[in-house]
Amino acid sequence: MKKEYKIEVIKESALSSLFLGASKMPVKKMEAVMNQYGQEGWDVSFQVIEQHRLFLFWTREAVVITFVRNL
């Protein structure tokens, strides 16, 4: 059985990371993306949170979500 994969990267807001030093992950955006792919027959295979450097002193988080479905 063949499988198809799709990757979606959802990042924190850069402005709030700069001005507040930290911000929350955009949960509503994550839910919307996951519901959209779920309606198209995709399942979440795994997800990981990684930190990216933002300019010199700041970091921001991103969620990498991998979706999978059978062909």
Q: What is the pLDDT of residue 17?
A: 47
Q: What is the pLDDT of residue 55?
A: 72
Q: What is the pTM of this model?
A: 0.76
- The alpha helices in 10-53, defined as continuous H runs, are 14-20, 27-39
Rounded to whole angstroms, the Cα distance separating 20 from 41 reads: 38
- What is the 8-class DSSP label of residue 30? H
Q: What is the pLDDT of residues 16-71, one digit of tens each?
A: 545 555 556 778 889 999 999 999 999 999 999 888 777 777 777 889 999 999 98
